């Protein structure tokens, strides 16, 4: 399995990946549904933290170029509403 081989190469390294948090539900005897636990469902592939930071340097620079915008919530709502 190629994913197993990739994961074995990354043992003892810091990794990053994108994921969704997935609730695991359970139904008890009274047919009440409740969340028993949460899990992580990976969306992307595993990469080292260094590679992730190198790939996202350009994106961080874009945000640095944006101007700081200060506003108050009251500026968007009139006093009549």
Q: Give the gyration radius of the chain's Cα atoms.
A: 22
Instruction: Report the predicted TM-score, pTM, of the whole model to 2 decimal places.
Output: 0.44
Q: How far apart are CA 65 and CA 13, in angstroms?
A: 32
Burial of 24-36, coded b for 16+ CB within 10 Å and e otherwise, reads eeeeeeeeeeeee
Please give the DSSP secondary-structure letter assigned to residue 75: G
Residue 79 predicted with pLDDT over 70: no
Cβ neighbors of 79 (< 8 A, separation 6 or more) are none
- The reported pLDDT for the residue numbered 58 is 66
Q: E strands of 1-73, at which residues?
A: 15-16, 19-27, 33-42, 47-48
- The reported pLDDT for the residue numbered 2 is 77
Both structure tokens of 25: 């539900």
Tens of pLDDT, residue by residue over 28-77, are 788 777 777 888 888 888 888 898 888 876 665 656 666 666 666 666 66
- The reported pLDDT for the residue numbered 4 is 83
């Amino acid at each position: 399995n190629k994913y197993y081989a990739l994961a074995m190469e990354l043992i003892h390294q810091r990794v990053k990946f994108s994921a969704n948090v997935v609730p695991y539900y359970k139904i008890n005897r009274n047919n009440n549904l409740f969340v028993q636990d949460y899990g992580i469902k990976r969306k992307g592939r595993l990469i080292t933290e260094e590679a992730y930071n190198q790939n996202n340097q350009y994106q961080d620079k874009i945000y640095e170029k944006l101007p700081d915008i200060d506003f108050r919530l009251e500026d968007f709502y009139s006093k009549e509403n």
